[in-house]
C-alpha cells in the first residue's frame, strides 16, 4: 500500500513499535504452552523478515548495494522457507496434522491459518512494503496479547480477531492486488528482469521467491543460448499474442499493457519479450503469485513464481479462507473489487490480457488428503460459486472481455530428467511446428466433422470411455463451420480442432487411467455426463469414496454441484506425443501440450466465454458458429448462470483411444481415428509420428 506523505511519521511509529515488541517475545513467558512455542518461533520469523527489509533498503526506500556471495544468498533463501520444505514439514505448524497434534483441531486450524499468512509476508520484505508487514505484525501481536495471562483466548475469540483483520483490510488488500495486475508502475519484477546482469545468477534471489535447483539450472541453461535463439523463443510467444488479436478481429492498438506471467529462471526470454511487446505499443505488467489469504480464494496460482518449496503446503491451505468466509465478507470483497476497478478504470480498459509461460517436468505431486484441513462448508461452497461468477463479471466489465486476448506457451525445467537440454530443444521445435501443414490436415477433420450430427468416442486398452457428443447445427454449411481450426496463436503449440458441443444429447462416460491437472494427479478419473452436464464422478486416489469425490468437487468442479461440457476437441500434434513417449515424460507434460495428444474434453465455460459475439473465421473463410451452449446463452438474461469461472481440459491419449467417428443424420459413420491412428483420407501424415511413438515405450 502506498503511504501518503502526511501519514508517514505516524506509520513509522507503528512500524517501529511492532518491530520492537516482536523482539521481546522470545524472552517472555507470558504465554503458556502449548502456545508459547508457536509465538516464539513466529516472532523470530517476523523479526527475520523485518531485519531483511532493513538490510535491503535504506530509510528513503533506496535499494542498498551489498556484495553478498551466491552461496550466502542461497542459504538465506532456504532459511526463509525451511519450515515448509518436505523434510521439515511434518513438524511444522504449517502442516495441519502437526498443528492439530500440538494445539487441538480448533486451535490447530486457526493457528495454521496464521502460520500460512505469515509465510505470505516474505514478498513484502523484498518489495519494501512496510505497511503490509506492519498490519500483519500488529495482527500477530494482537493474537499474542489474547493468549497472554492465565487463560488463553477461546477459539471463538481468536476467530473473531482473524475475521476482523481480513474484513477491516479487505478493501486495502483488494485494491493493492488489482493495482498490481494492471498498473505498470508496480515494476518490482520488471526492474529485476531489465536491469540485472542476468549472467550473475545472484539476481534470482532478489525476488524473495523460493529458488530451487530448477530455477538456477534453467537460468544457467538459457545463458548458454545465443541471443538469436532467445529472440526466436520470445517471438513465438509475443507473435502468438499479437496473432490472437488479429484472428479475433480485436484492435490491439487501443491497448497499453500486457500481463507477463512466468517462472524465475526465464528472465533472458522475458527481457526479450518485454522489448518485443514495447514495439507493439504494450508496456509489461508483471505481478507475483498471490501470497495473502484474501487474494487466494482459488486453488490456482496466478502470477509470476519461483520454485514450489512444498506443493502439499499449498494444497493444505488452499481452503483456509473457510476460517472467515461468510456473506458479509464476500460482499465486502466484491464491493472492494468494483471500487478498485472504478478508480483505475482507464488502466483496466486499456489492459490487453495475459501472456503466460508455463513450465513442466517438476516432480509429480500426489496430494495427501487430511482430515485436519479446514474445508469449506456447503454454504461456503455456494458463496464461492457466487463469488467466482460475480468477480468474473466485474473483471470482464472493466478489462473488457470482447477486447482482450491471451497466449500460453510451455517449457520444461531441469527436474524433468537427465535429458533436460534435449527435451527443451524438442519443446522449442514443437512450439514452432509449421502451422500450414496442420492447418491443411485439420481442415480435413473439420470437413468430416461438419457432416456429422454427433461424434462417438470410445476408449481401448483399459480406457472405459464411451461418449456421444452432439454437435451444433449450421444454417449454411457453405459459409459456416462447427469447429475452429486452431493453429499456434493464443494456444501454443499448434494442433487441435475444437467446438462447443450441444449439451442436449451429449451423454456417456469419460475415463482416463491417469492424468495431471493443474499439478494434481488423478487416478482412474471417471466423469459421467447426461445431457452435457456432469451427473456423477469418481477417482481412485484415496481410500474412501467421500475423499475421492471431494477431491474432484474442489479441484475440477470448483464447488459447483455440476458443470457443463464446454469443449470437445481432437488433438493432432502427434509430434508432441512422440516426443513425450520417447523421453517417457507423458505424465509430466502440461495440459497445454498434453491436450494436443488426443481428444480432449473441457468442463466449465466454453472456449469463447465473454467473447461469444466476436466473429471468428477459419482459414478457409468459414465462420465458426459453435460458441454458445444452453448454459452460456443465459449470458443474455442472467450472466450469473452462464459462466462458471473454470475450464478444465481432460485428454485421452492416442494409445487409450479406440475410435472417433462422426455420425451423419442418416446414421452413416465417418471414421476419423481407429485404434489410435488417423484413418481419414488426407490425415495420414499425422501417423508417421504415431508409428515412431508406438515403437518407443
- Higher-confidence residue: 270 or 149? 270
- Residue 575 has a CB neighbour count (10 Å cut-off) of 24
Same domain, 151 and 37: yes
- The average confidence (pLDDT) of the chain is 94
Give the dihedral of Cα atoms 517, 518, 519, 525; nearest 10 deg. -20
Residue numbers of the domain that contains 79:
5-168
Same domain, 296 and 147: no
Helices and strands (H, E) in the chain, number of each type: 24, 19
- pLDDT value at 89 more than 80: yes
Same domain, 198 and 312: yes
On whether residue 534 sits in a domain, the answer given is yes
Q: Is the distance from CB of 244 to CB of 292 less than 8 angstroms? A: no
On whether residue 675 sits in a domain, the answer given is no
Number of domains in the chain: 3
Indicate if the alpha-carbon torsion angle 493, 495, 500, 503 is positive or negative.
negative
Mean pLDDT, range 434-446, rounded to an integer: 93
Mean pLDDT, range 661-670, rounded to an integer: 97
- DSSP 3-state of 97: helix
For residue 375 the three cell numbers come to 474445508
- pLDDT value at 555 more than 70: yes
Same domain, 361 and 469: no
On whether residue 35 sits in a domain, the answer given is yes
On whether residue 428 sits in a domain, the answer given is no
- Higher-confidence residue: 474 or 66? 474
Same domain, 606 and 536: yes
- Residue 691 has a CB neighbour count (10 Å cut-off) of 11
On whether residue 148 sits in a domain, the answer given is yes
- CA–CA dist 540, 556 (Å, integer): 15
Q: Is the distance from CB of 460 to CB of 511 less than 8 angstroms? A: no
Domain boundary among 137, 168, 199: 168
On whether residue 120 sits in a domain, the answer given is yes
Mean pLDDT, range 257-264, rounded to an integer: 98
Same domain, 396 and 534: no
Same domain, 77 and 12: yes
On whether residue 145 sits in a domain, the answer given is yes
pLDDT of residue 213: 96
Same domain, 258 and 334: yes
HSE of 531, CA atoms in CB hemisphere, 13 A: 3
pLDDT digits (tens, 9 = 90+) for 135-164: 999 999 999 999 998 899 999 999 999 999
Q: Is the distance from CB of 257 to CB of 180 less than 8 angstroms? A: no
On whether residue 667 sits in a domain, the answer given is no
**Residue 639 pLDDT level (bands cut at 50, 70, 90):** confident
Domain boundary among 111, 140, 168: 168
Q: Is the distance from CB of 277 to CB of 258 less than 8 angstroms? A: yes
Same domain, 157 and 195: no
pLDDT digits (tens, 9 = 90+) for 18-60: 999 999 999 999 999 999 999 999 999 999 999 999 999 988 8
- CA–CA dist 259, 247 (Å, integer): 20
Same domain, 377 and 512: no
Same domain, 136 and 210: no
pTM: 0.90
- CA–CA dist 601, 566 (Å, integer): 7
Alpha carbon 56 to its chain centroid, in Å, reads: 30
pLDDT digits (tens, 9 = 90+) for 484-535: 998 767 789 999 999 999 999 999 999 999 998 887 899 999 999 999 999 9
Same domain, 125 and 221: no
- Identify the residue whose cell numbers are 452436464: 533
- Residue 540 has a CB neighbour count (10 Å cut-off) of 14
Amino acid at each position: 500500500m502506498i503511504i501518503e506523505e502526511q501519514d508517514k511519521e505516524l506509520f513509522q511509529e507503528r512500524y517501529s513499535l511492532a518491530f520492537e515488541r516482536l523482539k521481546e517475545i522470545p524472552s517472555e513467558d507470558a504465554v503458556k504452552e502449548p502456545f508459547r512455542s508457536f509465538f516464539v518461533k513466529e516472532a523470530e520469523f517476523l523479526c527475520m523478515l523485518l531485519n531483511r527489509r532493513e538490510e535491503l533498503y535504506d530509510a528513503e526506500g533506496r535499494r542498498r548495494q551489498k556484495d553478498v556471495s551466491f552461496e550466502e544468498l542461497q542459504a538465506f533463501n532456504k532459511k526463509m522457507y525451511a519450515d515448509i520444505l518436505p523434510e521439515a514439514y511434518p513438524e511444522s505448524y504449517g502442516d495441519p496434522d502437526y498443528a492439530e497434534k500440538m494445539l487441538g483441531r480448533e486451535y490447530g486450524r486457526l493457528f495454521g491459518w496464521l502460520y500460512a499468512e505469515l509465510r505470505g509476508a516474505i514478498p513484502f520484505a523484498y518489495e519494501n512494503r512496510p505497511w503490509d508487514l506492519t498490519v500483519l505484525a500488529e495482527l500477530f501481536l494482537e493474537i499474542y496479547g489474547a493468549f497472554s495471562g492465565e487463560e488463553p483466548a477461546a477459539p471463538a475469540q481468536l476467530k473473531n480477531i482473524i475475521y476482523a483483520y481480513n474484513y477491516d483490510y479487505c478493501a486495502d488488500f483488494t485494491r493493492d492486488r488489482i493495482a498490481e495486475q494492471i498498473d505498470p508502475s508496480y515494476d518490482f519484477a520488471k526492474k529485476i528482469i531489465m536491469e540485472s546482469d542476468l549472467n550473475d545468477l545472484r539476481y534470482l534471489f532478489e525476488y524473495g521467491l523460493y529458488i530451487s535447483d530448477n530455477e538456477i539450472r534453467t537460468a544457467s541453461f538459457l545463458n548458454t543460448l545465443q541471443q538469436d535463439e532467445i529472440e526466436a523463443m520470445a517471438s513465438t510467444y509475443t507473435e502468438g499474442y499479437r496473432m490472437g488479436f488479429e484472428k479475433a478481429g480485436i484492435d490491439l492498438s487501443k491497448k497499453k499493457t500486457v500481463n507477463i506471467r512466468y517462472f524465475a529462471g526465464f528472465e533472458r526470454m522475458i527481457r526479450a519479450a518485454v522489448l518485443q511487446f514495447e514495439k507493439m505499443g504494450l508496456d509489461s505488467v508483471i505481478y507475483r503469485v498471490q501470497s495473502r489469504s484474501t487474494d487466494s480464494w482459488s486453488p490456482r496460482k496466478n502470477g509470476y513464481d519461483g520454485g514450489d518449496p512444498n506443493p502439499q503446503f499449498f494444497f493444505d491451505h488452499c481452503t483456509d479462507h473457510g476460517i472467515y468466509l461468510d456473506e458479509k465478507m464476500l460482499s465486502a470483497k466484491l464491493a472492494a473489487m468494483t471500487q478498485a476497478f472504478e478508480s483505475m478504470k482507464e488502466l483496466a480498459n486499456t489492459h490487453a490480457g495475459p501472456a503466460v509461460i508455463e513450465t513442466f517436468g517438476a516432480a509429480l505431486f500426489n496430494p495427501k488428503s487430511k482430515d485436519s484441513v479446514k474445508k469449506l462448508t456447503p454454504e461456503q461452497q455456494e458463496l464461492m460459486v457466487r463469488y467466482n461468477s460475480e468477480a468474473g463479471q466485474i473483471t470482464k466489465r472493466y478489462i473488457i472481455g470482447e477486447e482482450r486476448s491471451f497466449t500460453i506457451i510451455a517449457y520444461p525445467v531441469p527436474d524433468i530428467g537427465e535429458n533436460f537440454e534435449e527435451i527443451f530443444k524438442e519443446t522449442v521445435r514443437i512450439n514452432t511446428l509449421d502451422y500450414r501443414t496442420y492447418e491443411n490436415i485439420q481442415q480435413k477433420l473439420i470437413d468430416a466433422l461438419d457432416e456429422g450430427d454427433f461424434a462417438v468416442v470410445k476408449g481401448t486398452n483399459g480406457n472405459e470411455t464411451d461418449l456421444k457428443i452432439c454437435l451444433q447445427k449450421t444454417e449454411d454449411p457453405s459459409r459456416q463451420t462447427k469447429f475452429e481450426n486452431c493453429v499456434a496463436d493464443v494456444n501454443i503449440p499448434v494442433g487441435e480442432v475444437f467446438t462447443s458441443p450441444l449439451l442436449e444429447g451429449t451423454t456417456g462416460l469419460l475415463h482416463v487411467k491417469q492424468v495431471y491437472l493443474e499439478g494434481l494427479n488423478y487416478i482412474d478419473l471417471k466423469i459421467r455426463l447426461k445431457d452435457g452436464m456432469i451427473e456423477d464422478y469418481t477417482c481412485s486416489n484415496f481410500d474412501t469414496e467421500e475423499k475421492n469425490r471431494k477431491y474432484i468437487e474442489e479441484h475440477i468442479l470448483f464447488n459447483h454441484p455440476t458443470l457443463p461440457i464446454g469443449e470437445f476437441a481432437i488433438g493432432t500434434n502427434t509430434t508432441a506425443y512422440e516426443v513425450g513417449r520417447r523421453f517417457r515424460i507423458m505424465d509430466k507434460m502440461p495440459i497445454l501440450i498434453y491436450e494436443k495428444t488426443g481428444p480432449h474434453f473441457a468442463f466449465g465455460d466454453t472456449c469463447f466465454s465473454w467473447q461469444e459475439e466476436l466473429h471468428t473465421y477459419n482459414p478457409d473463410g468459414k465462420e465458426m458458429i459453435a460458441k454458445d451452449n444452453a448454459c452460456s446463452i443465459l449470458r443474455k438474461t442472467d450472466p450469473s448462470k452462464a459462466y462458471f469461472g473454470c475450464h478444465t481440459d481432460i485428454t485421452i491419449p492416442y494409445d487409450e483411444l479406440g475410435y472417433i467417428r462422426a455420425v451423419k443424420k442418416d446414421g452413416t459413420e465417418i471414421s476419423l481415428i481407429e485404434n489410435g491412428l488417423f484413418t481419414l483420407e488426407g490425415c495420414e501424415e499425422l501417423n508417421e509420428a504415431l508409428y515412431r511413438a508406438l515403437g518407443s515405450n
